Structure 1
């Protein structure tokens, strides 16, 4: 088995990246009704890949994860960080996180904000992000807002 490689995403990969984000979200046991409701939120468009920093992790041409940075220095956003369900718990999330932070710092960002899935909040806390608030996305459902200083 070959090594996992991190590289910039290409606009033609938008559909594959989007499908990976949907599989990753479904991993947490959400109902189909919920997944249908958030379907459009999980789309990564070709123009976002061109305009933002989207990095994919792949092995043997198979996408295993990705992240997307957004914003203008000094404050940015980790807009997405998703893993193929089989890659969760393998250390790839940490590798993508560390790469995202290094990339953001190199681009002049001083901090990154993110809205975490509640299931991923412990991972982000472990990685050094601090909960700074929450965003109510629908009645009874809020997402933790977290920040990491670079």
Structure 2
């Protein structure tokens, strides 16, 4: 239990459903990680039911259907690169950060990637999140250049081995 009263212990991770779209969108748009000069990246961003239905999106909830603690989206075989997946989105709610939810999501991501036969997952990280990804085993492989007008900064590119 954290200071705001949200139960962040042992979240239940399940496949996201179309009905989760509004909650996932809210989590993205209200993330403190994207305040200030980072805000344009998520301004107007929407995780729609169509996105959830066409991608491998997994959500961590408190208990079995409690508050959303975080989620991720895994893209298999991006750009035809066999054996490689890509982490498209990963967010942990502000109240759940620091309670192991991100690590549990990454462990789940690794299990999903292994089941899909992937060797590694590419991560293009929000710059302040690079340390987290390195702590869970990702290795920096390069930098992805800014793509204005939404992404005005270069981002670290990392590779998360699946073994």
> Which TM-score bucket, shorter chain as reference?
0.7 to 0.9
2:4 corresponding residue in structure 1: none
TM-score under structure 2 length normalisation = 0.80
SS at match of 1:69: strand
Q: Does 1:66 align with 2:78?
A: no
| Shift of residue 144, structure 1, vs aligned partner | 0.5
Give the Cα–Cα distance (whole angstroms) in 1 for the partners of residues 34 and 90 of structure 2.
18
- Aligned mates of 2:10, 2:141 — CA distance in 1: 36
1:92 and 1:110 mapped to 2: Cα distance?
Answer: 23
Q: Unaligned regions of 5+ residues in structure 1, if any?
A: none
Greater helix share, 1 or 2? 1
- SS of match in other structure, 2:159: strand
* CA-to-aligned-CA distance 1:3-27 (integer Å, 9 cap, x gap): 5211110012112111112222xx1
Q: Which residue of 2 aligns with 1:77?
A: 86
TM norm structure 1:
0.87
Which of 40, 45, 51 matches 2:54? 51
Instruction: Decide which structure has greater strand share.
Output: 1
Aligned residue-pair number: 146
19, 27, 30: which one aligns with 1:12 = 19
Quote the residue 2:3 is aligned against: none
